[in-house]
Structure 1
Amino acid sequence: MVATTSSSPSSPAMPYDPQAIARYYRWRPWLLLWRTFQILSSLGRFVWGLKWDQWTRQTERNRFRRAIQLRRVLTGLGPTFIKIGQALSTRPDLVRKEFLEELILLQDQLPPFPNKKALALIERELGRPVSELYRSMSPQPVAAASLGQVYRGELWDGDAIAIKVQRPKLVPKISLDLAVIRKAVVWFGPFLPLNLGHNLSVIVDEFGTKLFEEIDYLNEGRNAERFADNFAAYPDVKVPKIYWEYTSQRVLTLEWIEGTKLTASQCMVNGKRDPDALVRTGVVSSLRQLLEFGFFHADPHPGNLFAMPDGRMAYIDFGMMDQLDQVAKETLVDSVVHLINQDYRLLAQDFVKLGFLTPETDIRPIVPALESVFSEIIDVSVKDFNFQTITDQFSGLMYEYPFRLPAKFALIIRSLVTQEGVALCLNPDFKIVEVAYPYVARRLLAGETPEFQRRLLEVLFKDGKFQWQRLENLIEIARTDDSFDLIPTAQFGLQYLFSGDGGFFLKQIVLALTEDERLHTEEVSRLWDLVKEDFQPQRLLGAAFGALASFSEEAVANWPPVVAITTAQKELQNVA
């Protein structure tokens, strides 16, 4: 039997309907009460154990025992709470080592469900005996996770595959947990700090929506193909192929990925692989997902990431994904630019656009508060800066001002925090901005789109004056990325200056060279010292000819930059 490459099914994802769930349990309150009792009693025994150790001064002696207890409690409470444990397992900077080691087991080392049930589900979902579907299938699952378990197999054409089979009765289990949690946040939300009480139910609903999408394997397959399309031009990222003929809503057959999971026991992957290169690939791919594609992996824990023998990083498990619209992507980049510029009024407006502040909020008292917090962050050197720095500092503002956490950004923050956790696991000294800064600087300097061209101008000009130091900083930061090449950037700059849109920019540069009635030879000399190694004469001439290649002599006579230079020369004469 030969696998086909048919297109993905178009059936909609399984919907999450909190009102329908609430109506169902309104007439079955005993189910809610019993589940609430189970959750409180399980977590209560764990908390009581911690307190008892504290009172009897046995905390150190019992710390490994309590770590095991927490893992067993979360496992016993089921998929929803396992997901919470997985999120905690990615933060070595927040969770004690002994707890971390146990929580990591929640990523893919959970108790499996019986093979008999898994095989029956495969045959029921795909409509054929397992012996006809696959040439071979491992007798036991090779991994068991919160929502399903995975077998290794082989198709009749010889392709190595992973067969993902969903756990039984997931929908009623998850629905009941979400109903309990939603009731709890409605009751206790108003008493919580950080201005979260007003929309905690929205965040729970966002989580519920994503969880229901995650248990629809047809949806996961479509997500994987879309993710693969986005990264088709980036060879460092691998996405497994989906075999649609052997896939249904509860069974997913995909390409087998050979590699090392980025779990704690294997964080310092074998000597043939470079941990720092993996970190760089992971962080840059996350930034691309958020700022370029707007379609991001919301659950990048170490069990879902593989270091492949050829140095690539592979993503698996595309059940929990989310989408950013163009406005949100652009506003995120704007917020980075405004933070670089230390323009806190515009940064406050960005927070309004992103939903952290309501449109009617008076931002005037918030601006100096943002300045007091973020000026400290900006002054911190890159080596002492990480994502946790931002969240710790920003949380203080949420106590005093009407900031709120939009449901969409709960997943984004979770994704970023998780990614940084993976990076810290691979390299405890890693700082996320050491990779993130060069990425943003490189994209600004490249000016790939009109939006990025506008943002570059915002960075380079403030109050009508050219910011020499910012240009130096951008180039210096961008060059910390070994893959950054200034020549294509210079060629793009020349093409932009020779375009109709570049006239004003050229005029501003000419004026900047003579602003304050003096030639800025010192700044130009310092800038040249910074870039001269990159600009060998042959390469520089090649960039210039490349920029000019598409222009004719007649077009040159009518270039707006020529007019701009003439105007600038006249203004210089007037100054003289």
Structure 2
Amino acid sequence: MARTSKSLFRLKTYDLSVIIQYYNWRPWLPILRFLEITFKFAGFAFGLWLDRSRGYPLAQRPRRAEQLRRILTDLGPGTIKIGQALSTRPDLVPQYYMDELTKLQDNLPPFASSLALRLVEEQLRAPLTAYFTEFDPNPVAAASLGQVHRARLCTGESVAVKVQRPNLVRKLTLDLYLLRRLAVWFGPRLPLNLGFNLDLIVDEFGSKLFEEIDYVNEGQNCERFARNFKDDPTVFVPKIYWHASADKVLTLEWIDGIKLNDVKRIQAAGLDVQKLIRAGVESGLKQLLEYGFFHADPHPGNLFALSDGRIAYIDFGMMDQLEVESKEFLVDALVHLLNRDYERLSQDFLKLGFLAPDTDITLIVPALEKVLGDLFGAKVSQVNFKQVTDQFSNLVFEYPFRVPAQFALIIRSLITQEGVALSLDPDFQILKVAYPYVARRLLTDESPRLRQRLLEILFKDNRFQWQRLENLIAMAGTGTNLDLVPTARLGVRYLLSEEGKSLRERLAQALTQGDRLHTREVFHLWQVLAPRIETPKLAQDVLQEVWSVTRERLRLTPAR
């Protein structure tokens, strides 16, 4: 029994068997916690009963959502994290609750400074003076799992010291144990159209939570993120000081910046708001579609504008990795959305785990068409991501959708980034930034798989989509100088290769579709291309590429 207790407090990862064994031997702990939670929620339940007796008046919904947020805050870090997780789950909670629960991000009550100072010394195994010449006992910020103090290292660097809340493993595991028990007991009886066991969601949540409270893991995440963006002039990532860090203490470079939702200070500093917005959104898309390693909690407390116009990221506890296959499926989904191919989009949802493998997609296709039909239509510039997720959240209650934990984090990340951008510019539309970025990647990326997806967009029912290519080029050039010469060079090489044989045939057919030469379309396309291409350079590069490919073929042709 003592060995189980010791192993619980030393847990570094979510170990269900250890947690269950510990609390099964101490049933009074979950019982007392259950009674505490029940008492706190009694008033909330009574309010819901009153609402139901009155026919669920819409005016009461914001009040109930705020009441729930306050209860979760009072109950401690475990329930706060549960509330934060629920704020990303449209398959579990209605939209008006999600909106309120997103406020469980920062500015939470701090814990005693004396405890924080003692914990730092215990973790570093030395008095504060061995590492710091200055250490402010008053925290500058407090979140659900820890708080941040400003300090100065003995070597002179100004730093932020992140200190974990005391007894966190015990508090979190108790809530996870209780939540999982409730999920097993009551999950099958809840009116949730999930198609899988609710306890699996709890296990996914527990695994991510343990990653977040491992500060060594967070420091490694930070350094990996920094490596990904080392050549990006718009993103800054703080340095980790490992000699002054431990499992529950993380010391990193202090950032003198402005929170991205502090519009007045940003404007007073003379920073370009539109550049900040574009840098934020594009860095988020790079994380998802290029690196696959993304910051899952980019709320205003974790994003700062620097005086030189860069965006600084902090707090790398909540990160996730998209596998190559998932990234490709995401691009597939985007391509099928562009083509309004809702049947194949439904299949993408199956591959990504949003639908159970045995789902009858014939019911899903018309629902997707109804919800997403206008997303990439004529009104694309007027659509924001939150509108789409709001509509989608209604869809998941009617059909057997689930949101995999990983994609719940992605949705949360995108909604949060959009919210930050909207605080800077109320007229901001995320697709105005995201769409050009995706178009640039499709047109300029050397990846064979992305090239194939570009062809899927440009050919529909074996007919070349001239207007789509014009739109892609125009979109790709929005907000940046688009150099298409390297793309043209790669295109020529591909067309002249054996692999490009079928494309040559398809292009020949495209130019003569309908028993006529499509010279007008080619002329319009050239008008779009001309401002973005140095014609003499293009001609020179293309001729060099033709000559290079010809020489390679002559070299490979056997002599007779």
TM-score by length of 2: 0.86
| Deviation digits for residues 381-436 of structure 1 (CA, Å, limit 9, x no counterpart) | 12321223332333444344433322322222222222222222222322221111
Letter in 1 for 2:281: V
Q: Are 1:525 and 2:523 an aligned pair?
A: yes
Whether the 8 Å contact between 2:263 and 2:424 is mirrored in structure 1 is no
What is the aligned partner in structure 2 of residue 297 from structure 1?
A: 295
Q: Give the alignment of 1:275-290 within 5 angstroms.
A: 275-290=273-288
What is the aligned partner in structure 2 of residue 391 from structure 1?
A: 389
Q: Report deviation, 1:43.
A: 3.6
What is the aligned partner in structure 1 of residue 417 from structure 2?
A: 419
Q: Give the alignment of 1:110-259 within 5 angstroms.
A: 110-193=108-191, 195-196=193-194, 198-259=196-257
Q: Report deviation, 1:18.
A: 2.6
Residue from 531, 536, 546 that aligns with 1:541: 536
Q: Distance in 2 between matches of 1:337 and 1:161?
A: 45
Residue 201 to residue 66, structure 1, CA distance change in 2 (3 Å): closer
SS in 2 for 1:379: coil
Whether the 8 Å contact between 2:162 and 2:251 is mirrored in structure 1 is yes
Letter in 1 for 2:416: T
Q: Distance in 1 between matches of 2:60 and 2:546?
A: 76
Whether the 8 Å contact between 2:195 and 2:356 is mirrored in structure 1 is no
SS in 1 for 2:376: helix
Q: Distance in 2 between matches of 1:455 and 1:326?
A: 15
Whether the 8 Å contact between 2:193 and 2:398 is mirrored in structure 1 is no
Q: Are 1:555 and 2:550 an aligned pair?
A: yes
The farther-off stretch of 406-415 and 464-473 is 406-415
Q: Distance in 2 between matches of 1:194 and 1:333?
A: 29
Whether the 8 Å contact between 1:496 and 1:502 is mirrored in structure 2 is yes
Residue from 24, 27, 39 that aligns with 1:26: 24
SS in 2 for 1:228: helix
Q: Report deviation, 1:213.
A: 1.0
Letter in 1 for 2:387: T
Residue from 14, 17, 21 that aligns with 2:15: 17
Q: Distance in 2 between matches of 1:39 and 1:553?
A: 73
Q: Distance in 1 between matches of 2:95 and 2:362?
A: 34
Letter in 1 for 2:318: M
Q: Distance in 1 between matches of 2:554 and 2:459?
A: 23
Whether the 8 Å contact between 2:482 and 2:532 is mirrored in structure 1 is no
Residue from 320, 327, 330 that aligns with 2:328: 330
Residue 499 to residue 193, structure 1, CA distance change in 2 (3 Å): farther
Q: Report deviation, 1:194.
A: 5.2
SS in 1 for 2:166: coil
Q: Give the alignment of 1:82-121 within 5 angstroms.
A: 82-83=80-81, 104=103, 106-121=104-119
Letter in 2 for 1:224: C
Letter in 2 for 1:122: V
What is the aligned partner in structure 1 of residue 480 from structure 2?
A: 482
Letter in 1 for 2:350: V
| Deviation digits for residues 37-69 of structure 1 (CA, Å, limit 9, x no counterpart) | 32233244356568889999xx99999999986
Q: Distance in 2 between matches of 1:61 and 1:191?
A: 28
Residue 365 to residue 151, structure 1, CA distance change in 2 (3 Å): closer
Q: Report deviation, 1:515.
A: 1.7
Q: Distance in 1 between matches of 2:553 and 2:281?
A: 45
| Deviation digits for residues 340-392 of structure 1 (CA, Å, limit 9, x no counterpart) | 11222222221121112233334344334433433243336123212233323
Letter in 2 for 1:45: G
What is the aligned partner in structure 2 of residue 75 from structure 1?
A: 73
The farther-off stretch of 136-145 and 513-522 is 136-145
Whether the 8 Å contact between 1:142 and 1:151 is mirrored in structure 2 is yes
Letter in 2 for 1:160: S
SS in 2 for 1:150: strand
Whether the 8 Å contact between 2:489 and 2:542 is mirrored in structure 1 is yes
| Deviation digits for residues 115-174 of structure 1 (CA, Å, limit 9, x no counterpart) | 222222222211221101112222322222211111111222221111111110000111
Whether the 8 Å contact between 2:263 and 2:423 is mirrored in structure 1 is no
Gapped runs of 5+ residues in structure 2? 1-9, 556-560
Q: Give the alignment of 1:444-455 within 5 angstroms.
A: 444-455=442-453
Q: Distance in 2 between matches of 1:190 and 1:64?
A: 28
The farther-off stretch of 148-157 and 37-46 is 37-46
Whether the 8 Å contact between 2:95 and 2:390 is mirrored in structure 1 is no
Residue 13 to residue 310, structure 1, CA distance change in 2 (3 Å): farther
Residue 288 to residue 192, structure 1, CA distance change in 2 (3 Å): farther
Letter in 1 for 2:292: G
Gapped runs of 5+ residues in structure 1? 1-11, 561-576
Q: How large is the RMSD of aligned CA atoms in angstroms?
A: 3.5
Q: Distance in 1 between matches of 2:87 and 2:460?
A: 43
- Number of residue pairs the alignment of both structures matches: 540
SS in 2 for 1:532: helix
Residue 127 to residue 547, structure 1, CA distance change in 2 (3 Å): farther
Letter in 2 for 1:506: R
Residue from 435, 442, 445 that aligns with 1:437: 435
Q: Distance in 2 between matches of 1:267 and 1:47?
A: 42
What is the aligned partner in structure 2 of residue 367 from structure 1?
A: 365
Q: Distance in 2 between matches of 1:132 and 1:253?
A: 14
Q: Distance in 2 between matches of 1:33 and 1:501?
A: 66
Letter in 1 for 2:166: P
Whether the 8 Å contact between 1:290 and 1:296 is mirrored in structure 2 is yes
SS in 2 for 1:111: coil
Letter in 2 for 1:543: L
Q: Report deviation, 1:292.
A: 1.0
Letter in 1 for 2:212: E
Q: Distance in 1 between matches of 2:50 and 2:26?
A: 36
Letter in 1 for 2:550: A
SS in 2 for 1:151: strand
Letter in 2 for 1:374: L
Letter in 1 for 2:438: V
Q: Distance in 1 between matches of 2:186 and 2:264?
A: 40
Letter in 1 for 2:228: N
Whether the 8 Å contact between 1:165 and 1:250 is mirrored in structure 2 is yes
TM-score by length of 1: 0.84
The farther-off stretch of 432-441 and 342-351 is 342-351
Whether the 8 Å contact between 2:493 and 2:549 is mirrored in structure 1 is no
